[in-house]
Copies of this chain bind each other. A is one copy, B any other.
Amino acid sequence: MNPAPNSEFMRKAIDLATENVRSGSGGPFGAVVVRDGIIVGEGANRVTQQNDPTAHAEVRAIRAACQALGVFSLHGCEIYTSCEPCPMCLGAIYWARIDRIWFGNTSADAARVAFDDAFLYREVALPAARRAIPSSMLMRDQAWESFQLWLDTPNKTPY
């Protein structure tokens, strides 16, 4: 994979973000997934329009790329996103096995326009007991049953 970025793809991600605000479709965020020099998935933020708090630009671009390619791994792909991924989107990028991230605005920039990205990075890094959303373990022994079944299942699709 070419380690040099292609400004055309970042321009596309930014245009998606700008057009999204102009059309009233959602927040100022756009992203494209690129493989072998071709855009294979794109997305803009549609949280409010689609009533889906997970409909961030990167998540939507990843979903679109996986549907287009018929895969659940985007190994060999890069993502260009108009803003540094939030922890949710960074997690999605890891699960998708994307090779490289190019971003425009930073998380601190996002905080300046009143999005929670920087706050979320602080929260995710805290021990669970110190986070703003309370979190408790419950019925761990019973929950292990499903993990044991996973271990005992021979013909599964790992990911």
Interface residues of A, Cβ cutoff 8 Å to B: 5, 7, 10-11, 14, 17-18, 20-22, 24, 27-30, 47-48, 51-54, 56, 59, 62-63, 66-67, 70-74, 80, 82-84, 86-106, 109-110, 112-114, 116, 120-121, 123-125, 128, 133-140, 142-147, 149-151, 153, 155-159
Contact = CB atoms under 8 A, between A and B. Distances in A.
Contacts of A124: 87, 90-91, 121, 124-125
Main secondary structure of the interface of A (DSSP, over half): mixed
Number of copies: 2
A105 B145 CA distance: 10
Contact of A113 (B27, B89, B151): B151
A28 B109 contact: no
